[in-house]
Structure 1
Amino acid sequence: MTPWSANYKLPPWEACEELKNKADVLADMIVVPFEQSVEDVILEGWEDDWIAKARYNGPILEEPKIDFVYNWVNGSQAEFVTTMHPYEINSSLNDAEGLWLESHSTNRYREWNELRYSIRSVEKYAGNFTNRIQILVNAYQIEGPSRNGSYIVGKQKPHWLKDNLETVQVISQEEFFGPEERKCLPSFDSLTIENQLYNTKSETDRLFALSDDMLLGKVHAASDLYSPLFGPTMGFKDNAYNTLKPPSDEDAERFGEKPFLIYTSWLLNRRFGARKRKGQMHFGHSLSRSIAKEAITSFPRPAMRSAVQRFRGETGFQLYSWYVMFHYTIERHREALLWSYIMLRSDLDDDGYLDWKERKKILKELSEGMGNETPELWRERNYYHVPEHLEKAGLEPPKVNTEILWTSLDGPSMIKDLDCDAFDTEDCLAPGFSMPSSDAMARSPVFSSAAIFDRIARQNPRCGDCLVKLILNRRQQGLGALLPSAKRKPKQREVVVKALMKYQYTIVKPDANFYMVTDAEQAEHILLKPLIKHKKEVGQICLNDDVALANEEELEKLRLVMAELFDGLLPEPSSFER
Structure 2
Amino acid sequence: MSTFFPRSLYQAFRGQCSYSAKGLTIILIALFLAFNLIVYIHFSDLLNPPIQDLPRKADQRESSSLVMSRHPFPPTSDWMSDWLYNQTVDSKLDESVGKGLKIDVVYTWVNGSDPTLMAVKERYEDASPFFQKFRAARNARVGQSNSGLTANRYRDMDELRYSVRSVAEYASTMFNRIHILTTVVDPETQESQAPSWLNNASLDVIQLVRHDVIFKDKTLLPSFNSLAIESQIHHIPMVTDVFLYLNDDVFLGTPMAAADVWTPLYGFVFHMEPTLLVPPFMHTPDNTLNVGEWDSLQYSNYLLSMQFGPRHRSYLAHVPHVLSVPLLDEIQSMWPEEFEATSSHRFRGEGQARDVHVSFFMAHYVAERLRETQLSSFWFNRLDANQDGILDWSEREQFLKRVDNWNQVQYEKSTQWPPLPYFQNFSSFVSNSEDHLRQLGMPPTGSSTYRLSGLDGYPFMLASANTTSTVQGLDNRPYMVNDDVQLRRCHLNIDFCLGSDFKSSTVEAIDHDASTTIFQRLAFTEFHCGDCLLHMLRQTATEPGLGSEILPVEKDSKVYQDVVSDLTKYNYVIAMSSYTFVSLMDPFGSQTFLNQIMNKKATEAFFCINDNVNNNPRVEAQVRDIFKRFLDQRFPTSSPWEKP
Q: TM-score, normalised by structure 1?
A: 0.85
Match of 2:577 among 493, 500, 510: 510
Deviation at 1:133, TM superposition (A): 0.5
* In 2: Cα distance, 1:92 partner to 1:345 partner: 56
Write the mapping of 1:444-523 to structure 2, written as runs, cut at 5 A. Answer: 447-448=514-515, 450-475=516-541, 477-487=544-554, 490-523=557-590
Deviation at 1:388, TM superposition (A): 2.3
Distance change (3 Å), C-alpha of 1:445 and 1:47: closer
SS of 2:638 mapped into structure 1: coil
Deviation at 1:360, TM superposition (A): 3.5
**Alignment correspondent of 1:335:** 372
Deviation at 1:230, TM superposition (A): 1.2
**Alignment correspondent of 2:336:** 300
* Superposed CA offset, 1:25-74 (max 9, x none): x9697235465324535233211111122221151222431111100001
Q: Which amino acid aligns with 1:414?
A: F
**Alignment correspondent of 1:17:** none
SS of 1:69 mapped into structure 2: strand
Greater shift in the superposed pair: 286-295 or 152-161:
286-295
* In 1: Cα distance, 2:331 partner to 2:513 partner: 30
Deviation at 1:534, TM superposition (A): 7.8
The answer to whether the Cα contact below 8 Å between 2:63 and 2:334 also exists between their aligned partners in 1 is no
* In 2: Cα distance, 1:303 partner to 1:535 partner: 39
Greater shift in the superposed pair: 307-316 or 29-38:
29-38
* Superposed CA offset, 1:286-340 (max 9, x none): 1222222323442233222212100001123222222211111100110111111
Distance change (3 Å), C-alpha of 1:417 and 1:389: farther
**Alignment correspondent of 1:128:** 173
**Alignment correspondent of 2:211:** 173
Distance change (3 Å), C-alpha of 1:484 and 1:44: closer
Q: Which amino acid aligns with 1:36?
A: L
Match of 1:31 among 61, 64, 74: 61
Deviation at 1:111, TM superposition (A): 0.8
* Superposed CA offset, 1:261-289 (max 9, x none): 22222221111011221111112211222
**Alignment correspondent of 1:538:** 604
Q: Which amino acid aligns with 1:567?
A: D
What do you get for the CA RMSD once the two structures are aligned? 2.7
Greater shift in the superposed pair: 467-476 or 410-419:
410-419
1:576 aligns with 2:625: no
**Alignment correspondent of 2:81:** 48
Match of 2:150 among 105, 122, 125: 105
Deviation at 1:416, TM superposition (A): 7.9
Write the mapping of 1:379-458 to structure 2, written as runs, cut at 5 A. Answer: 379-402=426-449, 404-415=450-461, 417=463, 421-439=490-508, 447-448=514-515, 450-458=516-524
Q: Which amino acid aligns with 1:523?
A: S
Write the mapping of 1:242-321 to structure 2, written as runs, cut at 5 A. Answer: 242-244=279-281, 247-249=283-285, 256-317=292-353, 318-321=355-358
* In 2: Cα distance, 1:376 partner to 1:31 partner: 35
* In 1: Cα distance, 2:441 partner to 2:250 partner: 30
* In 2: Cα distance, 1:254 partner to 1:313 partner: 5
Deviation at 1:387, TM superposition (A): 1.3
* In 1: Cα distance, 2:290 partner to 2:58 partner: 23
The answer to whether the Cα contact below 8 Å between 2:68 and 2:327 also exists between their aligned partners in 1 is no
User: Unpaired runs of 5+ in structure 1?
Assistant: 1-25, 143-150
SS of 1:59 mapped into structure 2: coil
The answer to whether the Cα contact below 8 Å between 1:353 and 1:447 also exists between their aligned partners in 2 is no
The answer to whether the Cα contact below 8 Å between 1:56 and 1:393 also exists between their aligned partners in 2 is no
Deviation at 1:78, TM superposition (A): 2.6
The answer to whether the Cα contact below 8 Å between 2:148 and 2:615 also exists between their aligned partners in 1 is no
The answer to whether the Cα contact below 8 Å between 1:372 and 1:378 also exists between their aligned partners in 2 is no
1:194 aligns with 2:240: no
Deviation at 1:343, TM superposition (A): 2.0
Greater shift in the superposed pair: 84-93 or 495-504:
84-93
Distance change (3 Å), C-alpha of 1:44 and 1:77: same
Q: Which amino acid aligns with 1:568?
A: Q
SS of 1:462 mapped into structure 2: helix
* In 2: Cα distance, 1:134 partner to 1:169 partner: 5
* In 1: Cα distance, 2:562 partner to 2:130 partner: 47
Aligned length, in residue pairs = 536
Kindly, what percent of the aligned residue pairs are identical? Answer: 28
Deviation at 1:125, TM superposition (A): 0.2
Q: Which amino acid aligns with 1:571?
A: P
1:563 aligns with 2:628: yes
Q: Which amino acid aligns with 1:236?
A: M
**Alignment correspondent of 2:418:** none
Deviation at 1:251, TM superposition (A): 9.8
* In 1: Cα distance, 2:409 partner to 2:86 partner: 19
SS of 2:104 mapped into structure 1: strand
User: Unpaired runs of 5+ in structure 2?
Assistant: 1-55, 411-420, 466-488
Distance change (3 Å), C-alpha of 1:187 and 1:549: closer
Deviation at 1:438, TM superposition (A): 0.5
* Superposed CA offset, 1:524-564 (max 9, x none): 2221x344478564111111001115134x43332222221
Deviation at 1:379, TM superposition (A): 2.1
1:526 aligns with 2:556: no
* In 2: Cα distance, 1:137 partner to 1:71 partner: 7
* In 2: Cα distance, 1:421 partner to 1:560 partner: 54
Deviation at 1:520, TM superposition (A): 2.8
* In 2: Cα distance, 1:251 partner to 1:470 partner: 47
Distance change (3 Å), C-alpha of 1:315 and 1:46: same
Q: Which amino acid aligns with 2:177?
A: R
* In 1: Cα distance, 2:79 partner to 2:637 partner: 42
Deviation at 1:197, TM superposition (A): 1.2
Match of 2:106 among 69, 78, 81: 69
SS of 1:119 mapped into structure 2: helix
Q: Which amino acid aligns with 1:217?
A: G
Match of 1:363 among 395, 400, 408: 400
SS of 1:326 mapped into structure 2: helix
Greater shift in the superposed pair: 558-567 or 363-372:
363-372
